[in-house]
Amino acid sequence: MHPDYPRFHLAIPVTDLSAARGFYGGDLGCATGRESARWIDFDFFGHQLVTHEVDASQVNAADTGGATNEVEGHDVPASHFGIVMSWEDYQSLLSRLTDAGTEFVIDHHVRFGGRPGEQATFFLRDPSGNHLEFKAFRNIEMLFAKDLENY
């Protein structure tokens, strides 16, 4: 990634910092940066993700993705974050997670097949209930396409 390319910074609550380290550092392979007894910086595919440990009583169930939106027959968690990957990197991560027995919230599938915006996607949840989406576009030029007639 170009050193001047903007990167996002996202901070999320987690209820178990050790479990977050296992999930983000182990399962997803994200390197760690600075950390303390209550937070860890992760290199989330070139972006800064900070997991802040909070008491479980501080987490509001509505904030962890109770609302959904129907997209091509799937109840997509309205509150989620993720990454757009190359098709090859997506397939590699999907294989690694599947082999590890990861439980998916929404299994891998292809949306908008054969149409502009065709994309592979899957959803999972971290140990604290935060929803993540991983996706890959067949044609990355369609990432911000406005042609919705074909959807």
Per-residue pLDDT reduced to its tens digit, 1-14: 566 778 899 999 99
| Sheet strand arrangement including 119-125 | 81-85, 131-137, 119-125, 104-111
Q: How confident is the model over 16-29, as pLDDT tens digits?
A: 999 999 999 999 99
The verdict on residue 59 lying in a domain is: no
pTM, two decimals, is 0.86
Same domain? 48 vs 87: no
Report which of 128, 133, 135 is spatially closest to residue 64, judged by C-alpha positions: 128
Structural domain boundaries enclosing 21 = 1-53
Q: Number of structural domains, the chain?
A: 2
**Residue 49 domain-assigned (yes or no):** yes
Residues 90 and 146 placed together within one structural domain of the fold:
yes
